[in-house]
Amino acid sequence: MQAKREYRDRDETEVAVLDTLVDRTDEGMTVFELRSGVEVDIDELEAALAELKEAGLITVENDDGPMRIYPHDRVVPDASSADADDERSSLLDNIRERIGL
């Protein structure tokens, strides 16, 4: 699943972080899990997380266990509209890939 369309105009790494977090909305992710899911170096990931936190698009919890990062609820698409959006964005993504954008 992808983050809502209105949050996709951010830096490429930030969008990748949001998309990865949206896939694990309920359980969140540690920095290490996120780093392997996004596949960027730690400095780039740290900068993206700082920007997303400042914008209020992620939540960081550090209770009893390791620190976990969650997407803000407003970033996560509704389940009912997600299927329709996935179909549209898949078509657009395919077109963009074919023309090299």
Token pair belonging to 25 = 């909305």
Q: Among candidates 52, 50, 58, which has minimal Cα distance to 22?
A: 58
CA distance 60 to 96: 34
Indicate whether 89 pLDDT > 80.
Answer: no
pTM for the predicted model, two decimal places = 0.74
Domain 5-99 in this protein, CATH class: mainly alpha
The type of residue at 2 is Q
Q: Hunting for tokens 């309920």 — which residue is that? A: 26
How far apart CA 13 and CA 89 sit, in angstroms, is 19
What proportion of the chain, given as a percentage, has pLDDT over 70? 85
Token couple for 23: 């896939």
**Range 32-61 average pLDDT:** 93
pLDDT at 20: 92
Q: Where are the domains of the chain?
A: 5-99
pLDDT digits (tens, 9 = 90+) for 19-31: 999 999 899 999 9
Please say if the pLDDT value at position 41 is more than 80.
yes
Contacts of 21 (CB under 8 A, 6+ apart): 3, 28, 29, 34, 58, 69, 70, 71, 75
